[in-house]
Amino acid sequence: MTDLRGASVVLRPAVPADVPALAAIRATPEVRARWRGGDDLAGEVAADLEDPGTRCLAVLHGDRVVGMIQWYAEEDPEYRHAGIDLFLDPSVHGLGLGTDAVRTLARYLVDGEGYHRLVIDPAADNAAAIRCYEKAGFRPVGVMRQYERGADGTWHDGLLMDLLAAELVR
């Protein structure tokens, strides 16, 4: 995969040299609250980069790594689609970089990889993420009740959102 250029971000395959920056971002309270993790965030990020089922891309703004966006594929021809997830450094929240990263990756997945449908599943209470994804064209499908266990040990709802190729906001 080559670098993908958005209006404000560049997405490129994440490499081991990105692990310290990505682990530091994952360690921020805002990101850790959503992505959680154990005592070895660097080890977890490194393992994510090595997972053959997930493609991890560093999100760059200028020359700085400001986050990671990843995607996976369901290749069964009866259900073929791709899923996306991302985290960004809180210092760049509210600048439109998340929407730009999602649009950029979605454009690649639709135009370059031929996916007709994309999914994303933010926490149902993550209003900022939901707004970000809606700006790229994702629509709510439904609430997945008690979808993920929170850091407090209780179950929390998730929101399944999808985007059909024709709905991508370019």
d(CA 12, CA 107): 14
Q: From 11, 2, 12, select the one nearest 103 (Cα to Cα).
A: 11
Q: Please tell me the predicted confidence (pLDDT) of residue 2.
A: 87
pLDDT digits (tens, 9 = 90+) for 108-161: 999 999 999 999 999 999 999 999 999 999 999 999 999 999 888 899 999 999
> Which tens digit of pLDDT belongs to each residue from 60-90?
999 999 999 999 999 999 999 999 999 999 9
As a whole number of angstroms, the distance between CA 66 and CA 118 comes to 23
Q: What is the pLDDT of residue 170?
A: 83
- In the chain the first and final C-alpha atoms are separated, in Å, by 20
Q: What is the pLDDT of residue 45?
A: 96
Are the C-beta atoms of 92 and 28 separated by less than 8 Å?
no
Q: How many whole angstroms separate alpha carbon 168 and alpha carbon 42?
A: 34
List the single range of 21-25, 27-31, 36-40 with lowest mean pLDDT: 36-40
Whole-model pTM over 0.85? yes
